Amino acid sequence: MNYQYDLCIVGGGPAGYTAALHARRKGLSVVLFEKSEIGGVCLNRGCIPTKAIMHSAEFFDEIKSAASIGVCIKDAEVNLSAVIERKNQIVEKLRKGLALSLKNSGVLVINAEAKLKDKNTVVSNNEEFVGKKIIIATGSEPRTFKGMEFDHKNILSSDDVLNMTELPRSIAIVGSGAIGIEWARIFAAFGVEVSIIELAENLLPVADIEVSKRIERIFKSKKINIYKSVGVENIQSGDICKVNLNNGETVEAEKVLVAVGRKVLNYDKIDGVEYIGDICAEIQLAHYASKQAIEIVDGIKFDKTLVPSVVYGNPEIAWFGKREQDLEEGSYKKSNMLISALGKSHCDNSTEGFIKILSQDDKIVGAHVVSKEASALIQEILIAAQNGISAEKLKEVCFAHPTYSEGIFEVLFGL
């Protein structure tokens, strides 16, 4: 066969662009097709824009309690257009940076839709591109269910909320996965009345049970209305939307965000073609997508049971590995401590949360952190777990003071 490229990639999100950049480092010839914007959901409609808006929301929230740390700020208010404009600028800057990296490294980017023809051929703009290997990394889209279809005016997807022009007085959020939880925190911090509706027994059902309970406590303290163990029958759109629940109750709000997961378009798998990222519907996280890309291109394997999850906001929530509810009683050890026991948390006015580590036979099998800087803390524990460093061995490490990491050190002594 006459190959034009070593690698053809469809989709320019974290999975696709990581594969492209790593393949070029190895000297392979690469063509990448992106039908929309380079960077995919993560950069344009996911991780980055939400965290940019989150930063504004949290900053505003912190200002509200500024007096308690001796700082006097008067008349703080939110200018949502400026918040969105800043978010747009961040996204654009990063997108341009990424496009430049791809160009400089010699990846041919074709801004067009591409379709897989066979295991070595991709068709785009009626042209055939033949590659030794093909990677499909076409990602996912917001999902909805019958009766709660997006109208993009009042019933919104996670894409729609990124470009709101004004804050609603109230919002109902259907689903308490990472996206629902993060937006609940953003809206509540901006002073919007938030109601969150979850089908499962607990908020953030993918998390450890203690984490879920802690989030519930935090949400209650922020006056977020919580509806658990209840499904949505349908949503009536209007100036005031009505979210009709299957227990007969109705939640009213100006806007509704439906955050009930992400769907992938149906596709027929072709043997020999690699499918990575959200399209696999395994773990729909950007770092999982890029690790899959590196695994394929560089052959660097990774343990899929040790993938960290982070939910952003104040405080952050992060975890990996086994949850307590996954383990048989008596088969594991658990140690935890409250973040309020750490001097640093008082200095930072951020005493909410805990660090919990689970072990079996002196092996760390899971960790669950609710704390400022949880996203960094989880990585420290994960590196130990991934490398089989036992809790005993980890005690030999000297942790700096005053830090949140000291909490990890303390927790080790309870295992």
Ligand X SMILES: Cc1cc2nc3c(=O)[nH]c(=O)nc-3n(C[C@H](O)[C@H](O)[C@H](O)COP(=O)(O)OP(=O)(O)OC[C@H]3O[C@@H](n4cnc5c(N)ncnc54)[C@H](O)[C@@H]3O)c2cc1C
The residue whose two tokens read 């993560």 is 42
Query: Toward ligand X, which CB reaches closer, 24 or 262?
Result: 262
The minimum distance between CB 139 and ligand X, in angstroms, equals 2
Question: Residue 3 Cβ, how far from ligand X at the closest point, in Å?
Answer: 20
Residue 369 or 411: which CB sits closer to ligand X? 369
Shortest distance in whole angstroms from residue 46 CB to ligand X: 3
- Residue 175 binds to ligand X (criterion: CB under 6 A): no
Q: Does 62 bind ligand X (CB under 6 A)?
A: no
Q: Is 286 in the site for ligand X (CB under 6 A)?
A: yes
> By the 8 A CB rule, do 137 and 11 touch?
yes
Q: Which residues between 1 and 40 bind ligand X (CB under 6 A)?
A: 10-16, 33-36, 40
Residues 86-145 that bind ligand X (CB under 6 A): 113-114, 137-140
Residue 407 binds to ligand X (criterion: CB under 6 A): no
Nearest to ligand X of 35, 242 (CB atom): 35
Which one, 185 or 344, has the nearer CB to ligand X?
Answer: 185
CB of 113 to ligand X, least distance (A): 4
Q: Kindly state whether residue 50 participates in binding ligand X, applying the rule CB under 6 A.
A: yes
Q: How far is the CB of 11 from ligand X (least distance, A)?
A: 3
Min separation Cβ 247 and ligand X, Å: 28
Q: Which two tokens stand for residue 99?
A: 């496009």
Give the residue with the Cβ less far from ligand X, 313 or 344: 313
- Taking CB under 6 A as the binding criterion, the range among 198-206, 285-293, 378-386, 388-396 that sits at the site for ligand X is 285-293
Q: Toward ligand X, which CB reaches closer, 34 or 208?
A: 34
* Residue 354 touches ligand X, criterion: CB under 6 A: no
- Report the residue number, 16 or 168, with the smaller CB distance to ligand X: 16
> Whole-angstrom Cα distance, residue 402 to residue 281?
41
What does the buried/exposed string (b/e) look like for 236-247 if buried means 16 or more CB atoms within 10 Å of the residue's CB? ebeeebebbbee
Which residues does residue 410 pair with via DSSP β-bridges, in sequence order?
none
Q: How far is the CB of 14 from ligand X (least distance, A)?
A: 4
Shortest Cβ 357–ligand X spacing (Å)? 22
Of 95, 287, 333, 334, the one binding ligand X by CB under 6 A: 287
By CB under 6 A, residue 284 contacts ligand X: yes
Distance CA 290, CA 277 (A): 7
Nearer to ligand X, 122 or 342 (CB): 122
Structural tokens at position 10: 């469809």
Binding residues for ligand X, total number by CB under 6 A: 33
CA–CA gap between residue 305 and residue 320 (Å, rounded)? 8
Least CB distance from residue 292 to ligand X, whole Å?
8
Whose Cβ is closer to ligand X: residue 124's or residue 405's? Answer: 124
Shortest CB 154 distance to ligand X, Å: 19
> Considering beta carbons, is residue 47 or 148 the nearer one to ligand X?
47
Judged by CB under 6 A, the residue of 23, 41, 253, 296 near ligand X is 41
Where along the sequence are the contacts to ligand X (CB under 6 A)?
A: 10-16, 33-36, 40-42, 45-47, 50, 113-114, 137-140, 158, 179, 277-278, 284-287, 289
